[in-house]
Amino acid sequence: MSAEARIALRPGLRLTAADRPGVAQPVPERDIPDRKWGAIMLAALVMLLLMLGAWEWHWRSYGVAPETADSDALWATQRRRIDNGEGTNATVLIGSSRMLFDLQLPVWQKLSGQRPIQLALEGTSPMFALEDLADDPNFRNSRLLVGVAPELFFSGFAARRGVLKYFRKQSPSQRVGQWLSMHFVEPYLAFDDSDFALPTVLARQDWWPARPGLHQRAPVRKLKVVAEEDRASHIWDKLEKDPQYRALAQGIWAQHLAPQPDDPTPAQLRKIVDEQITRAAAAVAKLRKRNVEVIFVRPPSAEKYLAFEDKVFPRARTWDVLLAKTGAPGVHFQDHPELQGFWLPEWSHLAARDAVRFTQALYAIIERDIEHHAPAAK
Amino acid sequence: MVFNSLTFIAFFAIVLAIHSLPLAWTIRKVNLLVASYLFYSAWNPPFVILLWISTVVDWYAAQGLVKAQRPAARRAWMLLSVVANLGMLGYFKYGGFLLANFTALLASAGVSYHAPAPDIVLPVGISFYTFATMSYTLDVYLRRALPARNFLDYALFVTFFPHLVAGPIMRPTELVPQFEQPRRANRQQLFFGLALMTIGMFNKVVLADGFLARAAEAVYDSDKIPGALDAWMGTLAFSGQIFCDFAGYSTIAIGVAMCLGFAMPDNFRFPYAAVGFSDFWRRWHITLSSWLRDYLYIPLGGNRHGPRRTYAALMATMLLGGLWHGANWTFVAWGGLHGIYLSTERWLRKRFAGFRPNVWSVLAFGLITYALVNVTWVFFRAKTFARAWTVLRGMAGGNAKAVPLLNTESLVVVAVITSGLVVTHWLMRNRTLESVLARAPAAVLSCTWAVMAFAIIATQGNGNAFIYFQF
């Protein structure tokens, strides 16, 4: 130990390797404060349980119930089904939240006898999933329904793009963690949802004043409920029952749809749209070679959301071009009266009851109007 | 597996239960060894082979060192260990970096060379266990220690899961003797170990990931230009994040080892209350800085061969220390800045040897040290020099087209946590956590423990990897 170190150290301080240059370091000594740690821990445990009970009660009172977390790991369990032998003669769904909330897996299964694999992701263009499946030889002789939410599909925006990297690099530890979470945490705790995480809750409180000059959109709040472990989902009934929460969700969409300083110019946007369509056409061509029938589906939207989509992503320059360039069939809700007249509480997703009707009508249209090629469709 | 995961909780409960059974000490050590390999392979099973290679090479190198009579033979055994370890580290960690620099060098000479992408995956924790195993051979070579008496104790020293992937970097003399006698934690050790694990987890899950990471990302991962406020707050956020992340990991590791009946050394000693940079490095990542001092700085001459050689050794040590953190020139710049700081401090101490600072001077020097350490964090966090310069220019108030990046909530959260962190470090500067806990009222300890545990659960960390895993 250097003289300097000896002077700097006060009684009670431990020596560290920093105090012993150029020598073999001895076995460390760690002192345990002389306290009744058992009693202290027991008291802490009781308080912890009380706090957790109060926190759980608070969120249950808010209308939340325990559900399967729609984590990257859950998506990976569904994606893995394709690699594990279910990628042939399958029906696979990709798209954004509308495909996830609106297309009801149990209804589709009842009608077709086959449960689709749900790979749609909220806030995310399905382009990465389309290209991933196009490159996967395990996926063949199947049907692929691609949900098109114009704002996402034609802009390429993908909030959860990282899910594919996660799927490819998922460690054994993460897989075990997913299993433990699904069996021991998610079925019991309502607050186990990223929308109710402590930092998220703190950040969205009203008391924070807006910072001048900062253009920031409020994060989207909880909108869906995952009903089953294969990601069968529907809109959260709070949006149907609670006018205040519904107004909040609409307000957040209105904020997202308002022009922002960093929005692309019309020319830049046209280029982005063309690029997405070109990528989709290339992926569809690859899938067609493996006898995968690709069907594009444009689920309903309403009011301000629909007005925004019609203005920024007009059908003639997006949807129609997509079908023409890919040569794939499509079902657009505006072309079918039976896909209209639904209630979309926050303008973007169908009420749960209407999602059932929508699925029935969509299935009927696909079976009736689309010429099928893949064996799965027969 | 990461400490902050359900998998680890289940794993640790099983390991602890088996370790507590009335089994022979050898069987319990085998349990720890197998558990440690499982712990490591839970990331990527094939990389366990690298761990085995490192273990076996150094075991035989140390045996060879003991048997060798001639200095040349001893040197050859030592070099075998160094080359094997650094070779592995070099390939996996620096292979892509070296190739990219080689290509760039050729391009600057007008030679167009396009090498295929090496696509090398970095085995988690390789930098840590490589240094641990090297210290084993080097200590035997330097005659500071004898080799382990049996292979099981030695293999467990290399692999012991609490320190395996992110330290504290253990020396053989610190851990191997602990495996020679049966060890099991008593109740006090078990409960206090759990308390330490809670403190570490709170630092990592709540402070680092939950509250500070977002502000750092908003400034450093954006392509927008920050003003002085955003650049400083983003940097302070990262400064707090990396401390809470890494010190949190070390505290959990110490707690885990304590629950099993083992002692691990301190890795941090309230570094943001450092006065001067030599003081900082006696408080920050102590096991790495002392490793670099003992196995690099001192062998390079240390302070024994005049001022020039001392400054050269200091700079070389810090530049290589920077490179140890990551295969990027920004890390080298980070290390270089610390080298310059340390050299300047050394010169100033000699130049003003008679200067005795009063309390206010100490405080001022402490704040200057903290500010300058934050400047180095810019290079550590920025992915490119371009971004580093943009943030630094912002910190100096020189960005003309700056736009606000952080909202009020982020600014307040960063300010509160940073202030709390710095004040705590100053209050704890000459204390240990244990000495404070020994005097605190029991009710306060229980309440604090409960609140920390609640915050950890309510924050719902998603098992983010610790920052230092990438090193």
> Pick from B167, B283, B445: which is nearest to A14 by CA?
B283
Residue A229 lies in a domain: yes
Cα torsion through B250, B254, B259, B263, rounded to 10:
160
Total domains present in chain A: 1
Reported as a single tens digit per residue, the pLDDT across B120-137 is 777 888 889 999 999 999
Residues B121 and B263 in one domain: no
For A239, how many CA atoms within 13 A lie in the half-sphere containing its CB?
A: 24
Contact between residue A43 and residue A180 where contact means Cβ atoms under 8 Å apart: no
Residue A47 lies in a domain: no
For chains A and B, CB pairs below 8 A equal 213
Percent residues over pLDDT 70 in chain B: 97
Pick from B138, B160, B184: which residue ends a domain?
B184
Residues B151 and B282 in one domain: no
Query: Which range, of A35-49, A114-128, B42-56, averages the lowest pLDDT?
Result: B42-56
Strands A117-118, A91-94: pairing kind: parallel
Alpha carbon distances (Å) from A10 to A15, A34, A177, B285, B431: 10, 20, 44, 21, 8
- Residues 296-315 of chain B whose Cβ lies under 8 A from any Cβ of chain A: 298
pLDDT, residue B108, reads 84
Reported as a single tens digit per residue, the pLDDT across B34-85 is 999 999 999 888 889 989 999 999 999 999 999 988 999 999 999 999 999 9
Residue B143 lies in a domain: yes
Partners of residue A214 in chain B, C-beta under 8 Å: 403-407
pLDDT at B303 over 90: no
pLDDT, residue A250, reads 96
Q: Do B407 and A214 touch (CB under 8 A)?
A: yes
Confidence of residue B465 (pLDDT cuts 50, 70, 90): low
Reported as a single tens digit per residue, the pLDDT across B230-284 is 999 999 999 999 999 999 999 999 999 999 999 999 999 999 999 999 999 999 9
A11 in contact with B, Cβ within 8 Å: no
Contact between residue B372 and residue B348 where contact means Cβ atoms under 8 Å apart: no
Identify the residue among B11, B293, B439, B445 best suited for mutation to test binding to A, counting A beta carbons within 10 A and taking the highest.
B445
Strands A224-226, A233-235: pairing kind: antiparallel
B38 in contact with A, Cβ within 8 Å: no
> Pick from B171, B138, B167, B131: which is nearest to B154 by CA?
B171
CATH number, domain of A333, equals 3.40.50
Confidence of residue B451 (pLDDT cuts 50, 70, 90): very high
Which chain B residue shows the shortest CA-CA distance from A173? Answer: B42
| Greatest pairwise CA separation for chain A in angstroms | 90
Give the whole-angstrom CA distance, residue B407 versus residue A119. Answer: 34
| B107's tokens | 């391009």
Residue B25 lies in a domain: yes
Residue B126 lies in a domain: yes
Q: Is A5 exposed, middle or buried (0-12, 13-18, 19+ CB in 10 A)?
A: middle
- Residues 202-221 of chain A whose Cβ lies under 8 A from any Cβ of chain B: 202-203, 205, 208-214, 216
Burial per residue of B85-119, b for 16 or more beta-carbon CB atoms within 10 angstroms, e otherwise:
beebbeebbbebbebeeeeeeeeeeeeeeeeeeee
Q: What are phi and psi of A264, to 5 degrees?
A: -70, 155
Minimal Cα–Cα distance from B42 to chain A, Å? 5
Q: What are phi and psi of B263, to 5 degrees?
A: -110, 135
Partners of residue A52 in chain B, C-beta under 8 Å: 454, 457
Residues B274 and B417 in one domain: yes
> What's at B208, amino acid-wise?
A
Identify the residue among B191, B225, B304 best suited for mutation to test binding to A, counting A beta carbons within 10 A and taking the highest.
B191
| B166's tokens | 């992110």
Residue A44 lies in a domain: no
Partners of residue B455 in chain A, C-beta under 8 Å: 198
> What's at A215, amino acid-wise?
H
Q: How many CB atoms lie within 10 A of CB B401?
A: 7
Total domains present in chain B: 2
pLDDT at A365 over 70: yes
> What's at A197, amino acid-wise?
A
Residues B338 and B424 in one domain: yes
SS3 state at B398: coil
Give Cα B402 distance to the centre of its chain: 34
Residues B168 and B38 in one domain: yes
ipTM for the predicted complex comes to 0.90
Confidence of residue A146 (pLDDT cuts 50, 70, 90): very high
Partners of residue B289 in chain A, C-beta under 8 Å: 18
A71 in contact with B, Cβ within 8 Å: yes
Query: Which range, of B6-10, B43-47, B223-227, averages the lowest pLDDT?
Result: B43-47
A7 in contact with B, Cβ within 8 Å: no
Residue B40 lies in a domain: yes
Residues B220 and B255 in one domain: yes
Residue A27 lies in a domain: no
Residue A54 lies in a domain: no
> Pick from A216, A306, A218: which is nearest to A262 by CA?
A216
Residues B374 and B454 in one domain: yes
> Pick from A97, A181, A135: which is nearest to A349 by CA?
A97
Angle among Cα B305, B311, B316 to the nearest 5 degrees reads 105
> In which element (H, E) is residue B384 found?
none
> Pick from B124, B130, B133, B136: which is nearest to B39 by CA?
B124
Alpha carbon distances (Å) from B113 to B211, B327, B349, B426: 45, 21, 49, 53
Residues B303 and B410 in one domain: yes
Query: Which range, of A74-78, A258-262, B391-395, B422-426, averages the lowest pLDDT?
Result: A258-262
Q: Which domain holds residue A241?
A: 72-189+224-377
B49 in contact with A, Cβ within 8 Å: no
Q: Do B174 and A28 touch (CB under 8 A)?
A: yes
For the residues of A210-263, what is the DSSP string, one character each? PPTT---PPPP---EEE-STT--EEE-THHHH-HHHHHHHHHHHHHHHS--TTP
Order the strands of the A117-118 sheet from edge to edge.
A117-118, A91-94, A143-147, A293-298, A330-332
* Angle between helix B442-459 and helix B187-201 axes, rounded to 10 deg: 50
Q: Which domain holds residue B56?
A: 6-184
Average pLDDT over chain B, rounded to an integer: 92
Residue A204 lies in a domain: no
Partners of residue B162 in chain A, C-beta under 8 Å: none
> Pick from A111, A71, A77, A62: which is nearest to A91 by CA?
A111
Residue A5 lies in a domain: no
For the residues of A32-94, what is the DSSP string, one character each? --SS-HHHHHHHHHHHHHHHHHHHHHHHHHTT--------HHHHHHHHHHIIIIISBS-EEEE
> Pick from B467, B470, B471: which is nearest to B4 by CA?
B467
Pick from B184, B218, B239: which residue ends a domain?
B184
Q: What are phi and psi of B113, to 5 degrees?
A: -135, 125
Minimal Cα–Cα distance from B172 to chain A, Å? 8
pLDDT at A307 over 90: yes
Q: Do A26 and B264 touch (CB under 8 A)?
A: no
Residues in chain B: 471
The neighbouring-strand residues paired with A88 are A140
SS (H, E, C) A115-129: CCEECCCCCECCHHH
The neighbouring-strand residues paired with A293 are A143
Residues B194 and B100 in one domain: no
- Residues 429-448 of chain B whose Cβ lies under 8 A from any Cβ of chain A: 430-432, 434-435, 437-438, 442-443, 445-447
Contact between residue A314 and residue A155 where contact means Cβ atoms under 8 Å apart: no
pLDDT at A51 over 50: yes
Pick from B184, B205, B239: which residue ends a domain?
B184
Q: Do A43 and B195 touch (CB under 8 A)?
A: no
> What's at B243, amino acid-wise?
F
Active site residues of B: 325
Which chain A residue shows the shortest CA-CA distance from B285? Answer: A18
pLDDT, residue A7, reads 45
Residue A163 lies in a domain: yes
Identify the residue among B160, B244, B266, B451 best suited for mutation to test binding to A, counting A beta carbons within 10 A and taking the highest.
B266
Residues B240 and B369 in one domain: yes
> Pick from A262, A272, A12: which is nearest to A154 by CA?
A272
Minimal Cα–Cα distance from A277 to chain B, Å? 27
The pairs formed by A126-129 with CB atoms below 8 angstroms and a separation of 24 or more are A126/A94, A126/A95, A126/A96, A126/A99, A126/A153, A127/A153, A127/A156, A127/A158, A127/A276, A127/A279, A127/A280, A127/A283, A128/A158, A128/A161, A128/A164, A129/A94, A129/A164
Residue B260 lies in a domain: yes
Give the whole-angstrom CA distance, residue B449 versus residue B440. Answer: 12
Burial per residue of A39-54, b for 16 or more beta-carbon CB atoms within 10 angstroms, e otherwise:
ebbebbeebbeebbee
For the residues of A1-43, what is the DSSP string, one character each? --HHHHHHPPTTPPP-GGGSTTSPPPPP-----SS-HHHHHHH
Residue B1 lies in a domain: no
Q: Do A199 and B403 touch (CB under 8 A)?
A: no
